[in-house]
Amino acid sequence: MSVDEAVRGRPLLAREGDEQVLGARLVARRKPGQWISAVLALLVVAGIVKSLVTNPRYHWDVVGAFFLRPSILDGLVLTLWLTAAVLVSSYLLGIVLAVMRLSANPVLSSVSAVYIWFFRSVPPLLQLLFWFQMASLYPQISLGIPFLEPFVTIETAHLFSGLLAAFVGLTFDIAAFAAEIIRGGLVSVEAGQTEAAKALGLSKARIFWRIVLPQAMPAIIPASGNLLIGLLKGTSIVSVIAVQDLLYSVQLIYAQNYLVIPLLLVATIWYLILVTVLSTIQFFVERYYARGKGARTGFWRLWRGQLPLVPRSRPRRDLEVL
Amino acid sequence: MSEPLVRVRGLSKRFGANTVLDGIDLDVARGSVAVVLGPSGSGKSTLLRTVNHLEKPDAGFVEVDGEIIGYRCEGAHLRELSDRAITRQRSRIGMVFQQFNLFPHKTALENVLEGQLAAGVRRRAAETRGRELLDRVGLADRERSYPRQMSGGQQQRVAIARALAVEPELMLFDEPTSALDPEMVGEVLGVMKDLARTGMTMIVVTHEIGFAREVADQVVFLDDGRLVEAGPPGDVLVSPTHERARAFLSAVL
């Protein structure tokens, strides 16, 4: 009778060689596929870097010379404030559309639905051209009640500059997408929250701005970040109607000196910088609205180990292919 | 007997074909505690929610301190009040929910501030009162905690402090302990008993028969939307006359 049997009152089968197995060290399976693919990936990266550095036709000296040119910086400023203006106006409009869409009033809800359907369907470039050509469609715009004498009348030709066409077109386009994102966030807030706020004697507006919207933000921000990045880059379509944004300022220069590639690189680098800044801001805004969910706060604790340029992703061993 | 604080008369409510409240009449005296008992689906919560106009009645009315809730009587019509007027009426009625419904993005203290700030109280004064109330429910040390960092019992006590912050003259409790672990029921009932002792008028929907026996001045029993039994706990809980009430009480006691 072994010791085990005596102690636990049940027989255990001992086999020769058990000692050796128990004493052996565990060795994980090698993953040659991962090694090979990692080396290949590195080779590709090295190839790209080498050609970027050694190919003289990139003209890095020209890139450096034009990078901070006043006309390009002016274009950059226009791109930035057009993005900011469109962002603010389209989200205000988007909030109104989302609230209308959720209204029990069938007219409000349908008007919002049709708006979203229409402006999500029309390409922004096409819309931009339409607004730019507004004068040929409506030579005059009158404000007033249909079928009655108008209050004011404006000549459309004086109204729609390229910049205004860009602002209006992009706002209408982004607002349609923003409305859907906001609606999704609003419906994610429990009905009990509104009831508790009502019972406390909060007004409707106060309930919306202080209770419902802040709780909808965690659902709204990630998708809005993508939309905003899309918008920032999307503003470059205004170059087709001769609005001097970042891209068009670059095009104006290479139309004269024919240094197309280095000047396109100038614009590329600026867009990279802008989107990086936006992604970083998005990262912190997301964290801010995650408060109360046990999220960490404090700059360095947040920053540590994070590369907020693209959405974060933990390694997922269950999805491993290589 | 002095004028009751709450008068409910002929209150009826239906959801589709389902009659939830059927001609309820009820008086709650100033400074008294009314406990509403009844099987689930009997209309207890709906009765409570009608008192602060979270539900609109189909017939009848609720009157608090001489004012009809949610409506203005104009001859043959009851016209619904403006949002602003209803908001003002609600701010005099505190409510505590089964699921607490604390604002998860605000700390305990911020939750208690919200109603006061909406009522126009200065932030400094609101904070002082908020801390007093958290202290009163035994949570002075949790003012910076978010709801998710607190136990159910603590959350419900914050919810009571939040409702008290706007100095209501009437408190409504909708099954305040039903979502709690058994060991936390006592701390919430304790706070409610203290509150009753201060002379607060309370209407409490609950299944806690012990609380009803100890604290209630009046126990009412609802069945299928009808008020079938009402009276002092010594009568209603000990010798109910209605058959349904008898069956319910023998099942829960």
Give chain B positions within 8 Å (CB) of A210: 114
Rounded to the nearest angstrom, the minimum Cα separation between A66 and chain B is 48
Rounded to the nearest angstrom, the minimum Cα separation between B147 and chain A is 7
Closest CA to A197 of A212, A185, A215: A212
Give chain A positions within 8 Å (CB) of B130: none
C-alpha distances out from residue A70 to A62, A173, A244, A294, B143, Å: 15, 31, 12, 47, 53
| Confidence at residue A255, expressed as pLDDT on a 0 to 100 scale | 92
What ipTM score was computed for the predicted complex, to two decimals?
0.89
Question: Which residue type occupies A73?
Answer: L
Going by the DSSP 8-state scheme, the letter that residue B141 receives in this structure is G
**pTM of the full structure:** 0.79
Is residue A281 scored above 60 in pLDDT? yes
| Position A148 confidence tier, pLDDT thresholds 50, 70, 90 | confident
**Angle between helical axes of B152-164 and B108-118 (0-180°, round to 10):** 20
- B238: tokens are 């000990």
Instruction: Read off the pLDDT of residues A229-275 as tens digits, 9 standing for 90 and up.
Output: 999 999 999 988 888 999 999 999 999 999 999 999 999 999 999 99
Alpha carbons B29 and A228: distance in angstroms, whole number: 58
Candidates A188, A193, A200, A217, partner chain B, best to mutate (most B CBs within 10 A):
A200
The residue ranking higher by pLDDT, B204 or A147, is B204
| Position A160 confidence tier, pLDDT thresholds 50, 70, 90 | confident
Question: Which residue type occupies A292?
Answer: G
The residue ranking higher by pLDDT, A320 or A264, is A264
| Position A310 confidence tier, pLDDT thresholds 50, 70, 90 | low
Instruction: Read off the pLDDT of residues A75-84 as tens digits, 9 standing for 90 and up.
Output: 999 999 999 9
Rounded to the nearest angstrom, the minimum Cα separation between A222 and chain B is 18
Give chain B positions within 8 Å (CB) of A203: 83-84, 87, 118
| Position A284 confidence tier, pLDDT thresholds 50, 70, 90 | confident
The residue ranking higher by pLDDT, A5 or A70, is A70
For the beta carbon of residue A302, count every other beta carbon within 10 angstroms: 15
Give chain A positions within 8 Å (CB) of B150: none
For the beta carbon of residue B2, count every other beta carbon within 10 angstroms: 7
C-alpha distances out from residue A150 to A157, A160, A240, B236, Å: 19, 20, 34, 72
Residues of B with CB under 8 A from a CB of A: 52, 54, 83-84, 87-88, 90-95, 97, 99, 101-107, 114-115, 118-119, 146-149, 159, 162-163, 166, 172
Phi then psi for residue A18, to 5 deg, are -55, -45
Alpha carbons B118 and B128: distance in angstroms, whole number: 16
Q: Does residue B97 contact residue B180 with C-beta atoms inside 8 Å?
A: no
| Confidence at residue A311, expressed as pLDDT on a 0 to 100 scale | 58
CB contact under 8 A, A291 and B105: yes
| Confidence at residue B248, expressed as pLDDT on a 0 to 100 scale | 86
Alpha carbons B212 and B206: distance in angstroms, whole number: 8
Alpha carbons B60 and B50: distance in angstroms, whole number: 11
Alpha carbons A136 and A311: distance in angstroms, whole number: 45
| Confidence at residue B154, expressed as pLDDT on a 0 to 100 scale | 96
Give chain A positions within 8 Å (CB) of B115: 200-202
The predicted model gives A144-152 an average pLDDT of 76
C-alpha distances out from residue B151 to B134, B154, B181, B206, Å: 15, 5, 9, 20
CB contact under 8 A, A199 and B54: yes
Alpha carbons A110 and A274: distance in angstroms, whole number: 37
Alpha carbons A297 and A287: distance in angstroms, whole number: 7
Give chain A positions within 8 Å (CB) of B160: none
The residues, any chain, with a CB within 8 Å of residue A228's CB and separated by 6 or more, are A83, A87, A278, A282
Flag the least confident range among A18-22, A293-297, B16-20, B139-143.
A293-297
* pLDDT string in tens for chain B (253-residue length): 578 999 999 999 999 889 999 999 999 999 999 999 998 889 999 999 999 999 999 999 999 999 999 999 888 888 999 999 999 999 999 999 999 999 999 999 999 999 999 999 999 999 999 999 999 999 999 999 999 999 999 999 999 999 999 999 999 999 999 999 999 999 999 999 999 999 999 999 999 999 999 999 999 999 999 999 999 998 889 888 888 888 888 887 7
Rounded to the nearest angstrom, the minimum Cα separation between A294 and chain B is 8
C-alpha distances out from residue A147 to A139, A151, A152, A156, Å: 18, 12, 14, 20
Nearest residue in B to A216, CA atom = B105
CB contact under 8 A, A201 and B166: yes
